[in-house]
């Protein structure tokens, strides 16, 4: 496991180290199988174009899951995601990198948990935020040992 990040290590205004994903049409097929989402706009180019799209597009839930990977990787084994919400404002296409980014907006303790609120988003290689959102994660505190979860 990588080095654990703690609540005391973070402050509002800090950015989370970005994660870069390289989705391909092959990954979209894997995702379709694993998620059960077989909507043709994600693997049939002719169908996607008949729907007015430029080509096949990445599943929104896959971008959401990339953000999940970005956040769970950052909070480490001692942390957890509490909330994640996004809106899909622009299309992401296979063959183009997706860059996951985040910035801490607030940290606070509540009901015995050490919570961190973030602005998060997925960006395309042109720097456009295709998928903006917000997240709340829990981090362990140096002042309290990491508990075993139920």
Partner 1 sequence: MPQESAITPELKALVGKEFPPTTWEVTEGDIIRFAQAIEDPNPLWNDEKQARRSRYGGLIAPPTFLASLVNEEVTKLLFNMPTPLKRLLNGGNELEWYQPVRPGDRITVTEKVVNLREGQGTLGRMLFIITEVSYTNQLGEAVARGRNTFIRY
Which residues bind to partner 1, rule: CB under 8 A? 1, 21, 27, 30-31, 33-36, 39, 51-52, 59-62, 64-66, 68-69, 72-73, 77-78, 80-88, 146-150
* CB closer to partner 1, 10 vs 79: 79
To partner 1, the closest distance from the beta carbon of 113 in angstroms equals: 12
Alpha-carbon distance of 30 to 94, in angstroms, equals: 13
3-state SS assignment for residue 7: helix
* CB closer to partner 1, 13 vs 52: 52
Phi, psi of 25 (to 5 degrees): -60, -35
**DSSP line for 29-76:** HHHHHHH----GGGT-HHHHHHTT-SS----HHHHHHHHHHHHHHHH-
To partner 1, the closest distance from the beta carbon of 143 in angstroms equals: 17
* CB closer to partner 1, 10 vs 84: 84
To partner 1, the closest distance from the beta carbon of 39 in angstroms equals: 7
Alpha-carbon distance of 37 to 30, in angstroms, equals: 10
Alpha-carbon distance of 69 to 3, in angstroms, equals: 16
* CB closer to partner 1, 52 vs 112: 52
To partner 1, the closest distance from the beta carbon of 35 in angstroms equals: 4
3-state SS assignment for residue 13: coil
* CB closer to partner 1, 21 vs 107: 21
To partner 1, the closest distance from the beta carbon of 115 in angstroms equals: 12
């Amino acid at each position: 496991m990588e080095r654990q990040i703690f609540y005391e290590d973070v402050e509002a205004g800090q950015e989370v180290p970005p994660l870069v994903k390289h989705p391909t049409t092959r990954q979209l097929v894997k995702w379709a199988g694993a998620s059960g989402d077989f909507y043709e706009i994600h693997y049939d180019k002719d169908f996607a174009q008949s729907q007015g799209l430029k080509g096949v597009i990445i599943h929104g839930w896959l971008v959401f899951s990339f953000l999940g990977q970005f956040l769970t990787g950052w909070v480490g084994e001692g942390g957890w995601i509490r909330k994640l919400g996004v809106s899909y404002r622009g299309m992401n296409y296979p063959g183009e990198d997706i860059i996951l980014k985040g910035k801490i907006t607030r940290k606070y303790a509540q009901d015995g948990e050490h919570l961190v609120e973030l602005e998060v988003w997925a960006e395309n290689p042109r720097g456009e935020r295709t998928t903006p959102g917000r997240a709340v994660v829990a981090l362990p505190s140096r002042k309290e040992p990491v508990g075993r979860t139920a």
